[in-house]
Structure formats: structure tokens, C-alpha cells
Amino acid sequence: MPMHGDLERIYADVLARNPGEREFHQAVREVLESIGPAVDKHPEYADAKIVERICEPERQIIFRVPWEDDRGAIHINRGFRVEFNSALGPYKGGLRFHPSVLLGTVKFLGFEQVFKNALTGLPIGGGKGGSDFDPKGRSDREVMRFCQSFMTELYRHIGEYTDVPAGDIGVGSREIGYLFGQYKRITNRYESGVLTGKGLNYGGAQVRREATGYGCAFFVEEMLRARGESFDGKDVVVSGSGNVAIYSIEKVHQLGGRVVACSDSSGFVHDPKGIDLDLLKEVKEVRRERISAYAGERGGDATFVSGRSVWEVPCAVALPSATQNEIDEADALALVKGGCVAVGEGANMPTTPAGARVLQEAGVAFGPGKAANAGGVATSALEMQQNASRDSWSFAHSEERLRDIMTGIHARCFETAQEYGMPGNYVAGANIAAYARVAEAMLALGLV
């Protein structure tokens, strides 16, 4: 889709002001290519420079994180928190601990988070953070010392009415526990709502661990229903084997689909009879081993393929749930050739622009991450709600709330795409619906 002329100028300015940040550039371009019709329909947004303001974070925080390992050696990492937009509520978004984390990575994730959070309909703004620290191979005590040092700086920038971080890649319940403990120690406040993804025994919410994967499956179910189809009897391929992938697999199986392949960074397993979820959880969540161990123990027709793309396995539904830009043009062509009819992005921006174009031109129902994987942040907002009221909901009630939210997100995307003359284009529907909601709030709040 060609970009609106005024938006081309804004995009050129984004490139000039943020050199070298390719993922951020990609995320901005994907939005600006979609929202031209909304810009034409609402000239008041242009007068107020809404797009320019949305593309510039309200605050970017970078800090040093010194810590000591078990041998007494000192390490220095870099911490980030990008508080992107708070027009709809306190900044909300995860923390990522991974060696690949740079400022541009965090800005891309934070920008996406603004739109994702707007689509939920909940009162939360967008932000993101993290560090180039790698928790893999580190002892619990090393991770604790790093988290305490990280929070010793971060605590002054967050709060339940200001900025509410959560987990992301490399930040699970262990890391959230250490971070919350240090926040409580420094502030002398048991402010449960300052972090989400907490353990159930100290303010966490049911379904939070499962939420992103479950929500993605619910969204794809709605896309299939809009086409008069369902998961019943369909082969599904899921990339990754972490939290999002595992719980996508679990919910797909409950909805009648059969996941026949999943992966990790070493390769993928193909199990034509359907992934044994209990074994996968044992291998990845308990023993933290490579995915090849699954094939070795599963036996039968299950095979491990090293160093190749999981997208070569034919499927009707694909759920990319690992990391950004994992489906390129060649992968997308392989999916189309293999009979894929729907793709739901469980990860953040896992499809390259060329890959997304191939899928959309082939008529594949394509659910972008800002819509399809919004279940995680939606359930984080529900955790905030429970913390604020000193309440705790059942698993069944929490899952029903999640399903309602994902159904609502699908409806917003679907109906907005139709309203703007692009039926079935979930990318345009998601971007325009989210942009309009944030823009209206920014107009109401004035030039701030």
C-alpha cells in the first residue's frame, strides 16, 4: 500500500531523527502505510500533529546496571525504559532481558505497545523496557543481584499510576519476583499494581501466564469464524517453544486443532500425530532442554530437523510465536504453498513487510501482533484491576474476560477495515482503530 504523501514526510523525519534503529523504522512504516484514510477523514489530527507526537516517545530512559556474579566478577549492562504514550493511561509494557536488546529494539516494542494497548479498550498507555543482560546460564542468585541493581534505578520512574512494567522474553515469574521485592524494599510500599506477571501467592492473576498464547488462539478462532471456518481438524504450526508457544498449543488443542510442529533456536520438531503437550512442557519448562530432546523421547513419527525453518511444514494455520522478523518472503511463500489460510502473530512483529505482503495478497487471514497477541497485556491490566480492589478472580472468570477482550479486538479490527473500504485487512483495521482511539485522547488532553 503506498504511503499517504503527508505521512511520507513524517516517516522521512522519523528516519532522520532515529538513525540505525531498523526495527523501530519498520514498526512505524507498517502503521503509517495503513492510516492514510484516517488522516484524510480527520484533518484535525493533522492540525494537532498527532502522528508526529505519537512517533516521538514521551520519555526515554537509559541507565547503567552494575552487578556481581558468583565468582565475584563485576559486569556492566545497560537498562532501558521507553515511556512512549500515556494518553490512555499509565504506561504499560514488558521488560525484555536478552543480549539483542538495544534502544531501537525497545522503541519498536514500545511503539507497537501503544497501539496494542489501545485495541484492548482498557485504560492503559504504552511503554517498554529491558536490558542486554542474558539470564540464560546464570544462577538464581546472579539473576537476583542483576534484578536488584536494575530496579534500584528503575524504581524512581515507575508506579501503579505512572508506569507498570511486566515480563517479556527473559523475564518470567522469577525475575518479576526479584524486581518486585527490590521495589518494595526501596519504597517501603506494598504497591502490588506496580508490576504485573507476579506469582499467584503475592498478587498475581490467574491466566496471566497463559494469556498471550490463549489470546492469540482466540483471535485466530474469530478470524476463521469470520470466514465460516474453525480450528476443527486443521493442522497448525507454531514457532517457538516458550511461554507464548506452549499456551497457544494448549488452547489450539482445546479448540479442536492439531499442532504438528514447534521449534526453538536449534531447529524444529515435526510430530504428525500432534504435539504431546505434557512432554513439551517437561522438556522446555521443567528441564529447560533443547527441542531435540522432545523428538528423542516422543519416538514414533516425531522427528527433529536442525537449522531449518519450521514454516516448511504444511499447515492450515500458522502462529509465529518466537521473535521479530522470523517469517520472511520465502517463508510466507512456503506457507501459502502448504495450504495456510490464517496466520496469527503470537510474537511482536514476527513477519517481515515482504512476508506480510505475500500472505495478504494470497488471501490469507493475517492477524498482526498488535491485535493477535494483545491477550498478555490485557490480562496484565486485569491483574492491575484486581490489585487495585484487593481482589482475586477464578481461572474460569479470568479466561472468560480474556476471551471477551480478544473477541472485542477482532470486532474492532474487522469493522474498522470494512468502514474504510478494506474488508478483511486486519493490519489496516488494527492500526486505524488504535490510532483513532489514541488520537482522540491526545486531542482531549491538549498539547502535552
Q: Is 127 annotated as a binding residue?
A: no
Smallest CA-to-CA distance from 255 within 228, 220, 207 is with 220
Distances (CA, A) of 183 to 155, 161, 239: 6, 15, 35
41 labelled ligand-binding: no
Cβ atoms of residues 223 and 426 within 8 Å: yes
Question: In b/e form, how buried is each residue of 400-439, taking b as 16+ CB within 10 angstroms?
Answer: ebbbebbeebbebbbebbeebebebbbbbbbbbbbbbbbb
Residues with catalytic roles: 128
Rounded Cα distance between 183 and 172, Å, is 16
Annotated binding residue at 251?
Answer: no
Angle between helices 103-119 and 426-445 (to 10 degrees): 90
* Distance in angstroms (rounded) separating the CA atoms of residues 112 and 89: 16
> Of 172, 127, 125, 131, nearest to 151 (Cα)?
131
Strands (E) across 36-115 are located at 59-68, 74-85, 91-97
Name the grid cell of 200. Answer: 499467584
β 303-306/317-319 pair status? unpaired
- Of 213, 169, 216, 210, nearest to 343 by C-alpha is 216
**Quick check: 398 and 376 in contact, CB under 8 A?**
no
Sheet holding 59-68, edge to edge: 59-68, 74-85, 126-131, 91-97, 163-166
Does 243 carry a binding-site annotation? yes
Q: Confirm whether residue 265 is marked as ligand binding.
A: no
153 close to 65: Cβ distance less than 8 angstroms: yes
Output the furthest CA–CA distance in the chain (Å, rounded). 64
Residue that is written with C-alpha cell 516425531 in the block: 302
Contact 362, 333 (CB under 8 A): no
Which H helix or E strand runs over 267?
strand 267-270
Extract the annotated binding site for substrate: 92, 113, 116, 167, 380
Extract the annotated binding site for NAD(+): 212, 243
